[in-house]
Amino acid sequence: MTLHQSLIILYVQSALFFLGAVFSLVQNKARQPQMRLLGLAMFVSVLGNHVADILRHYKISVNYSGSGFFICIIPLICAIYYQAMNKRYGRILLFVAIAHDIFAFINVLFIQKSFINSYTLIVQSIIIITLCIYYFYWLLQELPAAQLHRLPMFWVNSAYIIFYSSNLFLFVFTSYLVHVLNSQLLVYWTLHNVIGIIQASMMIVALWMDLQNIKSLSSSPSAQ
C-alpha cells in the first residue's frame, strides 16, 4: 500500500460524504429531521478532511482537525437518534454528548494533545455502538414499518455500527501500534477509510430511501 493509493481512497471517501451532504439538500424541508441532521453530519466529515489538508500544508498536526471533528460529531449523532426515537431520551443523550465533549477537550488539551486522540475515539465508538444496538432493539419493539430495510434510519444505524465496530480494534491498539511497533498506520488507516466508504455509501442509500418515501407520500391518495 503506497501513500498515493491511500490518498485516493481518502479522497473517494470524502467525495462520497460530500455527495451525501449535497443529496440531503434535495427536498430538504420535506425530509425527516434526522435525515437533515445526517446531511449536516456528512458535511462536517468533509469539512474535517479539508481542514486536515490545510493543517498538513502548514505542517501543523492534522490530529487537531480530527479532535475538532470528534467534538462536533457526537452531539450531531445524539441529535439524530433523539429525532429517530420520536424525541425520547433527550436528557440522557444530552448528558452523553456533553460528557463526551468534556472528555474530548481534556484529552486534546492535557492528555494525548497533538497525538492521535485514540482515547476519544474509543469512548466515541463505545457510545455509538451502544446507541446502535439500542436502536435496533427499539425498532424491534416499536416496529414502525413492516419492512425495516425500507426505513432510512435502518441504513444509517447499520452504517454506524459497521464503521465503529470494525474500527474499534484499530482505535484500541493505535497507541501500541505507534509507540511499540513504530507503525506509520498507513495500512490500518487506509482500511479505516475503506470502511468509511462503505459507511458513506449506506448513508446515501438512507437519504435515497428517505426521498423515495417522500415521493410515495406525496403521490398517495390521502396526500391529494
How do residues 152-200 score in pLDDT, each as one tens digit?
A: 999 999 999 999 999 998 888 877 776 666 666 788 889 999 999 999 9
Q: Which three cell numbers stand for residue 49?
A: 478532511
Average pLDDT over residues 73-79: 98
pLDDT for res 4: 85
pLDDT for res 220: 62
CA distances from 76 to 1, 40, 55, 94, 99 (A): 33, 8, 24, 10, 14
Of 68-82, 104-118, 168-182, which range is least confident? Answer: 168-182
Q: Does residue 164 belong to any structural domain of this protein?
A: yes
pLDDT for res 20: 98
Q: Does residue 101 belong to any structural domain of this protein?
A: yes
For 12, residues 6+ apart whose C-beta sits below 8 A from its C-beta are 197
Q: Does residue 223 belong to any structural domain of this protein?
A: no
What domain count does the chain have? 1
Burial readout 18-45 (b: 16 or more C-beta within 10 A, e: otherwise): bbbbebbeeeeeebbebbbbbbbbbbbb
Query: Residue 10 sits in which domain range?
Result: 3-215
Q: Does residue 220 belong to any structural domain of this protein?
A: no
Q: Helices in 143-185 by DSSP H: which ranges?
A: 152-179
Over residues 4-43, the pLDDT tens digits come to: 898 899 999 999 999 999 999 999 999 999 999 999 999 9
Q: Does residue 222 belong to any structural domain of this protein?
A: no
pLDDT for res 188: 83
Long-range pairs for 105-111: beta carbons < 8 A, 24 or more residues apart: 105/71, 107/67, 108/64, 108/67
Does residue 121 register a pLDDT over 60?
yes
Average pLDDT over residues 117-139: 96
pLDDT for res 148: 84
* Planar angle of CA 21, 51, 125, nearest 5 degrees: 70
Task: Express as a percent the part of the chain with pLDDT over 90.
Answer: 74
Tell me how far apart the terminal alpha carbons of the chain are, to the nearest angstrom: 56
pLDDT for res 224: 47
pTM of the model: 0.93
Q: Does residue 211 belong to any structural domain of this protein?
A: yes
115: pLDDT confidence band, cut at 50, 70 and 90? confident
Q: Does residue 9 belong to any structural domain of this protein?
A: yes
